[in-house]
Structure 1
Amino acid sequence: MSMIAKGNGLSPQILPRVASHGVPLRELMQLPRWQGMEVVAGADGLDAIVARLNIIEVPDIAPWIKEHEFLLSTGYPLRDASEAFISEIASSGAVGLAIKQGRYLDEIPAQMLHESNELGFPILTIPEDVAFDELLHEGLALILEKNLTVLERSDHVHRALINLVLQGGGLAEVVSQVAEVIEAHVIAVTPDGRLLAASGAESSSMQGQFDPSGRLLIERLKLGLQETAAEELVLFQAVASISSGADELGRIVASSDRVLSNSDLMILERAATVAALTITKRQAVAAVESKYQGDFLREVFAGKAGTPEQVGVYAKALGWNFEREQLVIVATLEPVVQLTPEEHRRAHDRFTAAWVSVTRTADPEAAIVGFANEVVIISASSAHGPRGYLETLTAGLSGDGGGGRHRFNAGVSRVVPAMEALPEGYRQAKQALGVGRRIHGAGSVADFETLGVFRILSLVPESEELRSFLDETLGELATREDAEAEDLRKTLGVLLDTNINVAETSRILHFHYNTLRYRILKLERMVGPFTIDPQLRLSLALSLRILTMRGLA
């Protein structure tokens, strides 16, 4: 995992760069009939990629210009062109302009030359004895030749990658082969940026592209070629989507301190297609394995998996270690109404894969299984305790919250001393999950050990008797939802927590002593003399906790 950099506070800025197949203008100028042309402005743009050549003879050509097009002109349209002509054609996709002076234009306007230098937009002059058709013939021939070379190279790599997969290679081997071919650091990640495979020397410029959990900030990268700048560091990158039909399986990203070419991008796109095959194959195998793992774990939780020795042997065959003190964790995605059943399935699969990635880093022998609507993890106990370990894992899952992630809830059991106690651990984790969700709402993380009285209250079913108890104990405070009632319930809760210590309650709530005395009198008129009746205080404390957990107020 050394290739996973931790966030260092840098905020990469994406700088668009060409993603078209063509030839640098500087290279075109080495052709026999192009050599006589002189650069009169915009020399900084000679490395621009030329994918097309075209002749213009009208001043309003901008709407018809295509991306990475180099223009040739007799100068005729420039006589009536606007002062912003250069910026207009540059913003439309043109990468340069060659003018044949003399017949229609004796001198290129100074404003155009100034604008070209400002934009790095090359303006060239064409010698009088060079015809346009000669420039077009030589230029297009070179562009086609280069494109053919790129296609041949990418096709060769594509066939090599297919053979690699047919011989049993996986995603790691595909990524390694691509990194070697294009001489760059290459990683494959999930749709939300979690590492699947990596190869090649990592550039120091990548440090700011990961969040603290090690997730690639994939939402900051666009498909194609680009430059990423962070402070004084510049990183050249190519990004391709790994897709299967309508499903996005991830991204493959190449990064280098050198400029990556269109040929490199095409190879990366071919590699993404092969990567989709390996991921799809792995998912199919994992689906079958997950079914057997899930069936076995359900049997364990039901106490029907056999003797402890048999359970231990079967678990070891699956790569799990049950012969140690463990924790059971249960996690669920927060329901999202807008998701279709199929979208929810894909989200749950990604959720399970994220738990596998994070947990296996901490415990390679952990069991992580996705049930229909929950993910169950059985992992070694931690020195940080159940809650500390769970918070470490959930922090790794959440990261900065980006990558299209959904909110989730999780609960963890007490330490399970032996595999015979796993069913009880599972029950505790599910109870912690459910109670935590009721108390804290969406995105809760709870541990069974600290649930306190809520563990008992969670076992009490909803009933008229429960409602009646709340009404008798809290009176109108059990049903009112206005701001005053909420404020009074809060005051009552703090008073009970401080054992009716008025001075301490005043300090916590930032009330004046007399204001709090007035509120106590008002509360006693509503619920009875709780300041002198310990049994009433107990009933009120239970009622407030029931309201907190059930949301009955």
Structure 2
Amino acid sequence: MLLGELLETGDLGLRPLVLPSGAERRAIVDVYTTDLTDPGRYLTGGELVLTGLVWWSAEAAAGFVDALVDSGATALGAGEAALGGVPDELTDVCRRRGLPLFAVPASLSFAEITRRVLAGNAPARPVGRRLLAVLAGRAGLNRLLDVAAAELGEPCAVLSPVAGVIAGAPPPERAALVHAVLTAPRLPASVTVAGRRIRLLPADAPDRHRTVAWFVACPAELADAMVLAEELAGLVALERARVDAGRRAERRLADQVLRALTAGGDAAAELLPALRVAGIGPGTPVTVLVSDGELGVAVLDEVLRTAVPDPVVGVRGGTTLAVVPSRDLTADQLADAVRAGYAAVAAGLGGARLPTGVSGTVAAGPALFAALEEARHAAGLAAARSEAAAVVTADEIDSHMLLLGSVPDEVRRAYRNRVLGPVLAYDSTHDAELVATLTAFLDHAGSWSRCAEVLHLHVNTVRYRIAKVEQLTGRNLGRLDDRVDLFLALRLG
């Protein structure tokens, strides 16, 4: 319902006090009654706010009106019953802030105003039927947005924080719109960007994380846009569901690849056929990525789809894995694309972490097993960093870890147990901190004094512990080869 239509309803007796130019064309999409001094957190934009002025004080007026304007409220209706009229101070504040204000006579209930607005919003709009016909004809989202733009005379767009513009004309200040979506207390919301009011509505499954969701952005100054945005959001959500159905089929193919890859060398015979079914032929340059958890797979999937065609992404054992055809991108360029995607959604991560490791580029085939180990080690290094979404490439891993990445898990476990097993057992029984002392000793190039300083121990205590390590392992830490053996065994932990 338009604000002008409500004010022109003669039997209600509403008296405009502040009516900026063009305000009668503003749409009312909902009605909210309040006597809070700061109702902003309960508004999403487009509401007619009704208040009995029980909260009234001259000092609170500016904060109350600011909350309505900042939240995108359409207008304020102030009841005259409590104070015998509407205070001039409130009228002055609304005039300065450009918020339409009207007086509600004491004889009129807010419930009657609400009933009239809701009744006025009820009739179906022909434009909604035309939009539905476009979508049913599988003409695509861009055609859908073209029809919407023709109706309004102004463009709308479908956006994603990760993927950018999904359909429609790229809006100005897209980054500001994405930030508003990620940080809004709730959606829908209306925001001011580059001097224009924009209506933002979710157009995705309600349980999808905002960082990877689609949303509709339409101009909010036009009354028709407020209703059209609601219609668009529902139709775009239908298209998103269709896209998701296709991706579920792709995910089943990805599961076959990742199951063979994580099974190790024993599954080498299964890996190539699974890759071929997923569209990756033998010898195709590929890169492996390892990230974290369920949010990781959603974000990484969206990020990769903006960078390369047909990535293989899934979850195995609670870890996100991806095998990415990288014909046109080096591993470093792919890592940069992931960093850029993560940066775009950083505001929406909250306390979530997305440490990600990126392997070097290898030919699709048995070399993928070593690439997976590279990516895992890189992800471990990323997890140790302070950034919520650190991305580490294989080039950043120490060369000895890169070498160990090609060694089967069972061989590495056996090596660690053979070299360090007696020390680990002694520490477990006596809480002697021999492993911690050995690690510090080797990290500081065998310096007794520096090791003692770092561990806050006497030098003689360090000498005693290292002697105990030598006794238990049969190694001599004065020999380079024995130091290397112990160093590698520690890194395999």
Deviation at 1:394, TM superposition (A): 3.4
Does the 8 Å CA contact 1:185/1:203 hold for their aligned counterparts?
A: no
Partner of 2:166: 197
- Equivalent positions of 1:72-471 (< 5 A) are 87=61, 95-97=76-78, 112-118=87-93, 120=95, 148=120, 155-189=125-159, 194-195=163-164, 197-200=166-169, 202-204=171-173, 206-210=174-178, 217-220=181-184, 222-228=186-192, 233-244=194-205, 250-256=213-219, 259-292=220-253, 302-303=268-269, 318=279, 326-334=285-293, 347=294, 351-352=296-297, 354-364=299-309, 367-370=311-314, 374-380=320-326, 386=331, 388-389=332-333, 391-399=335-343, 401-404=346-349, 407-408=353-354, 410-417=356-363, 422-436=364-378, 445=392, 447=394, 450=399, 451-455=401-405, 456=407, 458-460=409-411, 462=413, 466-467=416-417, 469-471=419-421
Q: Percent identity?
A: 12
Say if 2:441 is the partner of 1:492. yes
Residues 82 and 98 of structure 1, relative CA distance in 2, 3 Å threshold:
closer
Residues 430 and 276 of structure 1, relative CA distance in 2, 3 Å threshold:
same
Number of aligned residues: 445
**Structure with the greater alpha carbon radius of gyration:** 1
- Counterpart amino acid of 1:447? A
Please list the CA deviations of residues 455-512 of structure 1 after superposition, one character each: whole Å capped at 9, or x if unmatched.
348442646x854632546885687778x767634431223xx4x468xx95xx8959
What SS is found at the alignment partner of 1:237? strand
Which runs of no fewer than 5 residues in structure 2 stay unpaired?
Answer: 262-266, 385-389
Does the 8 Å CA contact 1:328/1:425 hold for their aligned counterparts?
A: no
Deviation at 1:34, TM superposition (A): 7.4
- Counterpart amino acid of 2:221? L
Does the 8 Å CA contact 1:239/1:265 hold for their aligned counterparts?
A: no
Deviation at 1:267, TM superposition (A): 1.4
What SS is found at the alignment partner of 2:76? strand
Residues 354 and 71 of structure 1, relative CA distance in 2, 3 Å threshold:
closer
Does the 8 Å CA contact 1:187/1:196 hold for their aligned counterparts?
A: yes
- Counterpart amino acid of 1:378? V
Does the 8 Å CA contact 1:51/1:143 hold for their aligned counterparts?
A: no
Deviation at 1:221, TM superposition (A): 6.7
- Counterpart amino acid of 1:491? A
What SS is found at the alignment partner of 1:238? strand
Partner of 1:342: none
Partner of 2:387: none
Q: Distance in 2 between matches of 1:272 and 1:123?
A: 30
Residues 43 and 271 of structure 1, relative CA distance in 2, 3 Å threshold:
closer
**Structure ranking higher on relative contact order (CA contacts 8 Å, 6+ apart):** 1
Does the 8 Å CA contact 2:452/2:459 hold for their aligned counterparts?
A: no
What SS is found at the alignment partner of 1:68? strand
What SS is found at the alignment partner of 1:203? coil
Q: Distance in 2 between matches of 1:225 and 1:433?
A: 40
TM-score, normalisation: structure 2? 0.65
Deviation at 1:427, TM superposition (A): 0.8
- Counterpart amino acid of 2:287? V
- Counterpart amino acid of 2:76? V
What SS is found at the alignment partner of 2:200? strand
Does the 8 Å CA contact 1:477/1:485 hold for their aligned counterparts?
A: yes
- State the Cα RMSD in Å: 5.7
Residues 299 and 71 of structure 1, relative CA distance in 2, 3 Å threshold:
closer
Which runs of no fewer than 5 residues in structure 1 stay unpaired?
Answer: 1-20, 55-60, 335-346
- Counterpart amino acid of 1:28? L
Residues 171 and 322 of structure 1, relative CA distance in 2, 3 Å threshold:
farther
